[in-house]
Amino acid sequence: MFLKPKVLSFFIFLLAHASVAQVRVTTELSNNWKFYKGQSTTAHQQDFNDRKWETVTVPHDWAIYGPFDKEIDKQVVAIEQNGEKVATEKTGRTGSLPYIGEGWYRKKFTLPHYKPGQKVLLVFEGAMSEPKVFLNGEKVGEWNYGYNYFYFDISKQVAAGKENTLAVQLSNQGLSSRWYPGAGLYRKVQVIVKNQESIDQWGTYITTPFISDKVAKVNIKTSVSGANTRLVTHILNAAGDTVASDKTQMPFGNKFEQNIAVNKPELWSPETPYLYTAVTQLFVDNTLKDETSTRFGIREINYKAEVGFSLNGKVRKFKGVCLHHDLGPLGAAVNKAALRRQLQILKDLGCDAIRSSHNMPSIEQLELCDEMGFMFLAETFDEWAKPKVRNGYNRFFETDAEKDIVNLVHATRNHPSIVMWSSGNEVPDQHGSEGAKRARWLQEIFHREDPTRPVTVGMDQVKATMQSGFGAVLDIPGLNYRTHLYEEAYKAFPQGLILGSETGSTVSSRGVYKFPVEKGIGKAYDDHQSSSYDLEYCSWSNLPEDDFILQDTKPWVIGQFVWTGFDYLGEPTPYDNFWPSRSSYFGINDLAGLPKDRYYLYRSQWNTADETLHVLPHWNWKGREGQTTPIFVYTNYDKAELFINGKSMGVQSKNDSSLLHHYRLMWMDVKYEPGTVKVVAYDKDGKPAAEKTMVTAGEPYKIILEPDRSQIAADGKDISFVTVSVVDKNGNPCPTATNQLKFSVSGNGSYRAACNGDATSLEQFHLPTMKLFSGKLVVLVQSSETPGAIKLSVQGKNLKGAEIRLKSE
């Protein structure tokens, strides 16, 4: 019998996996952890009785369940980065959630496949923070930085054929963060059992130093342990077919180096995220000792003075966003469905790049960026030696910075999405010659570990970095805001390129509009919301247009990373000293992941494939009859006509009379009258090309449910995000509704959380009730491990309730 190549490779794949089962077993420790929030001097002991502790699943964030409490992160400080000189009382800066203090996790596990003499590693992808790790009562190690990946060799402590007890102590100090850091084992924990002769942890390093249409050179360096080893590497294409193979028995020290030709390579880019897999097998004589799979992409990056950044030979600019690591109502606990949803929303926006501000990204996020096509700027630190907050990374910088960078690079360097590293964000060390030395030192560590990617720092003290030499040291000078200094920095720095490492920081609350409509810096209102006319920003920041124009007109500006793609917990500027604000206003999307108006402004510039025609504000202004209520349109068309109740308000065209007019269509003199708003966009020939209508809604009547996915995986982790809104009797959305709703989930899933995007709400995410904010909220329904039907029901007083059936498989 002859097997078709595809079928054959499937069998080889099965065989390979059978052998993987023998030579290397990776177990994720996720279920049945025991957790206790508090101090203990005995919880590390093997026979400690933890039966009364809470049972949790890891990834876990102990603080996200609240309650929000003003006292938790109350600080009397001047936030110097924001230009403050006088100390005032700040609340909500780190989300007002109970992350401070000590917490303990314990987990019992057996390793039935483990044979004495094998090597056992315990791998953490982040632990918040200062974890101390004990196995069977013995300390195996500790790691200070809560955001980094680290592992310990536990071969000496692990027990064969018996139960092992893992205990992890975590402690979070106050004044240690400028945002919500989360708390606990918020990223995955794994045990790897392998042979003594094996491929080292993060020991594979793949680069693609030569690429042509015909062939790509794939360079693979593999560090291994053990004597008399030889290596066989197969490269598989995305369909799983082997497209190239190579063997070598010539190690250089403990490293093998292979150069493998891949014919007619498919290149990785955001538009074509093509991935290959390198399967590496380690043999001693004819015995397979280890096997690993490493996904990679074939792609070329280039940064050239005056020319800019190019990917696979094509110059392009980063249309990027900065993201903090929290996932809104899930807190810092990593969840792949939540990350994927974020990226899907950003894809539609036309965004093609992410900056993990201001620390190491989750591995899950990098995997998704590889698969879905996002370029990545992976950052390390918000502080070096000089503090921004008293108990921040400055405590560890001298001792840990090098090993923290090494772990970041080793754990993530094969992700094609990563195109640049960042060694810091707005570090106070920008001032003075010591800082420039530190910048050089850190950059050289990156270069030593990965010579293929450049290093940047997000700089806010631009003038100081011109004087101290700091800016000149960097591979890529990154400017945070300071649009007025781009030109000067470009001339002063030798690199011939400027990156907008952090841009925008416009503030707004979804669906909230303030009058009169005018530009404002640090504006505060009684309801603690910011206006969605997108004209409000901070003393150090700017409007989207200030960045657009630089990107559009300066070839040496290589792109931007907007602060931020999504709202995040903590840093409620401009309401830093107004309780109960507890999350940010900077997002293009709110904390629930719902788009604000600003989403469509960026979309009109960034998403060049799809039409954007968006009208604001909403048209429910009881009491504003006859008052000036401007209408803005965000669109990729240059021209549009506005009609109110059928009467034309005139045609507006994008023009150069001001920056705002260059990118927005604005009818400033419209007087409010209830009824119908219609916008007709015209194409280049002046023909109607698209239209949008909005009507004044009546009283809320009925609940509407819209899931992002109605079928999810029965893995106990997957989540369907259901957008909940209300409509009037005629089906018109009610944009100002604030009804209190109740949620219940039955069947093979559970209610996980809800979020309405209101930065002032103190309702706890995990309780099954919440108020609508600007007519909307999102409910998160999580699958169980049993496949089947899941029902979500949403009810509200005087409203027609709604039910939806989801399926898990």
CB of 564 to ligand GAL, least distance (A): 8
- Nearest C-alpha neighbor of 579 from the set 512, 523, 510, 524: 524
Amino acid in position 487: E
What count of Cα atoms within 13 Å lies in the side-chain half-sphere of residue 27?
A: 15
Q: Closer CB to ligand GAL, residue 502 or residue 641?
A: 502
Q: Closer CB to ligand GAL, residue 342 or residue 584?
A: 584
> Is residue 37 a contact partner of residue 64, using CB atoms and an 8 Å limit?
no
Catalytic residue chosen out of the listed positions 449, 502, 545, 763: 502
- Nearest C-alpha neighbor of 637 from the set 589, 593, 689: 689
Q: What is the 3-state secondary structure (H, E, C) of 310-328?
A: EECCEECCEEEEEECCCCH
CB of 339 to ligand GAL, least distance (A): 20
Q: Closer CB to ligand GAL, residue 100 or residue 507?
A: 507
The count of other CB atoms within 10 Å of the CB of residue 773 is 27
CB of 537 to ligand GAL, least distance (A): 9
**Lateral strand order in the sheet of 215-225:** 198-211, 215-225, 255-263
CA 800 to chain centre: 37
What count of Cα atoms within 13 Å lies in the side-chain half-sphere of residue 756?
A: 26
Is 383 designated active site? no
363 sits in which H/E element:
helix 363-372
- For 534-561, letters b (16+ CB in 10 Å) and e give bbbbbebbbbbbbbbebbeeeebbbbbb
Q: Closer CB to ligand GAL, residue 326 or residue 641?
A: 326
> Is residue 179 a contact partner of residue 569, using CB atoms and an 8 Å limit?
yes
Give Cβ neighbours of residue 338 (< 8 Å, ≥ 6 apart): 327, 328, 330, 719, 721, 780
Q: Closer CB to ligand GAL, residue 532 or residue 739?
A: 532
CB of 504 to ligand GAL, least distance (A): 8
- Three-state DSSP at 12 gives helix
- How far apart are the C-alpha atoms of 265 and 261, rounded to whole Å? 9
Is 699 designated active site? no
* Both structure tokens of 416: 């094609």
> Is residue 277 a contact partner of residue 236, using CB atoms and an 8 Å limit?
yes
Apex 528 CA angle, 524 and 533, nearest 5: 70
Q: Closer CB to ligand GAL, residue 40 or residue 81?
A: 81
- My answer on whether omega of the bond before 617 falls inside 30° of 0, hence cis, is yes
Residues in contact with ligand GAL by CB under 6 A are 81, 425-426, 460, 480, 502, 505, 538, 541, 563, 571, 586
CB of 379 to ligand GAL, least distance (A): 10
Q: Closer CB to ligand GAL, residue 457 or residue 734?
A: 457
- How far apart are the C-alpha atoms of 513 and 374, rounded to whole Å? 33
- Three-state DSSP at 490 gives helix
What count of Cα atoms within 13 Å lies in the side-chain half-sphere of residue 37?
A: 15
| Residue with the shortest CB distance to ligand GAL | 505
Q: Closer CB to ligand GAL, residue 81 or residue 277?
A: 81
CB of 23 to ligand GAL, least distance (A): 44
Q: Closer CB to ligand GAL, residue 564 or residue 620?
A: 564
- Alpha carbon distances (Å) from 617 to 614, 631, 704, 738: 10, 6, 21, 17
CB of 405 to ligand GAL, least distance (A): 19
Characterize the bridge pairing of strands 318-323 and 557-563.
Answer: parallel
- Three-state DSSP at 489 gives helix
- How far apart are the C-alpha atoms of 269 and 369, rounded to whole Å? 10
CB of 340 to ligand GAL, least distance (A): 25
Rounded CA Rg of the chain: 27
- How far apart are the C-alpha atoms of 455 and 406, rounded to whole Å? 14
CB of 626 to ligand GAL, least distance (A): 37
Q: Is 661 left (phi over 0), alpha (psi -120 to 50) or beta?
A: alpha
- Nearest C-alpha neighbor of 716 from the set 588, 597, 596, 808: 808
Catalytic residue chosen out of the listed positions 364, 426, 545, 763: 426
The count of other CB atoms within 10 Å of the CB of residue 686 is 9
Q: Closer CB to ligand GAL, residue 81 or residue 219?
A: 81
Q: Closer CB to ligand GAL, residue 460 or residue 597?
A: 460
The count of other CB atoms within 10 Å of the CB of residue 622 is 9
Q: Closer CB to ligand GAL, residue 425 or residue 760?
A: 425
CB of 81 to ligand GAL, least distance (A): 5
Amino acid in position 227: A
Q: Closer CB to ligand GAL, residue 357 or residue 720?
A: 357
CB of 173 to ligand GAL, least distance (A): 19
Give Cβ neighbours of residue 465 (< 8 Å, ≥ 6 apart): 430, 459, 471, 477
CB of 546 to ligand GAL, least distance (A): 14
What count of Cα atoms within 13 Å lies in the side-chain half-sphere of residue 52?
A: 4
Give Cβ neighbours of residue 7 (< 8 Å, ≥ 6 apart): none
- How far apart are the C-alpha atoms of 391 and 386, rounded to whole Å? 11
CB of 585 to ligand GAL, least distance (A): 10
Characterize the bridge pairing of strands 138-142 and 132-135.
Answer: antiparallel
Backbone angles phi, psi at 364, to 5 degrees: -60, -40
Which residues are identified as catalytic? 426, 502
